[in-house]
Amino acid sequence: MKTLRAVALFLGLVGFGTYGISQTTKPPTITPDKAKEHIGETATVCGKVASTRYAAPLRGSPTFLNLDRPYPHHVFTVVIWGEDRSKFDKPEVTYRGQLICVTGKIGSYRGIPQIVVRDPKQIEVRKEEDRPR
């Protein structure tokens, strides 16, 4: 009986240890064209900001950062809603032409993958030589 309890305790501790490790792993880093395969997952998407738009008149006043291909041929969009815009200064200017990596849950709007960004810490500007392949 003691052996059975010891085995159960050991397995329980191993299980909790594994749970703790899995919670600290970094999300995968992918390219914008691969994001479509990761809808619903948390990932880091890295690409060059090919076009930007601050759509103040639209509901929610969104800012769009399109990676690797400009609108309307975009393959991935970063969305910053108007309520969060002040945290970013002028993102349509700041990030235009930059290689960025954005981390968050990948969603989809009209078939185009996107990440809604609420905090500047979700966006990292990188150098071209650091671009994931």
Phi then psi for 36, rounded to 5 degrees?
-60, -30
Q: What integer best gives the mean pLDDT of the chain? A: 87
92 within domain boundaries: yes
pLDDT of residue 121: 98
State the CATH number of the domain containing residue 95.
Answer: 2.40.50.140
Amino acid at 99: L
119 within domain boundaries: yes
For the cut 70, the answer to whether the pLDDT of residue 9 exceeds it is no
How far is CA 20 from each of CA 13, 15, 24, 32, 57, rounded to the nearest angstrom?
A: 11, 9, 7, 30, 45
The boundaries of the domain holding residue 89 are 26-130
14 within domain boundaries: no
Strand pairing category for 107-109 and 123-126? unpaired
Query: Which carries the bigger pLDDT value, residue 110 or residue 131?
Result: 110
120 within domain boundaries: yes
pLDDT tens digits for 56-112? 999 999 999 999 999 999 999 999 999 999 999 999 999 999 999 999 999 999 999
64 within domain boundaries: yes
Number of domains in the chain: 1
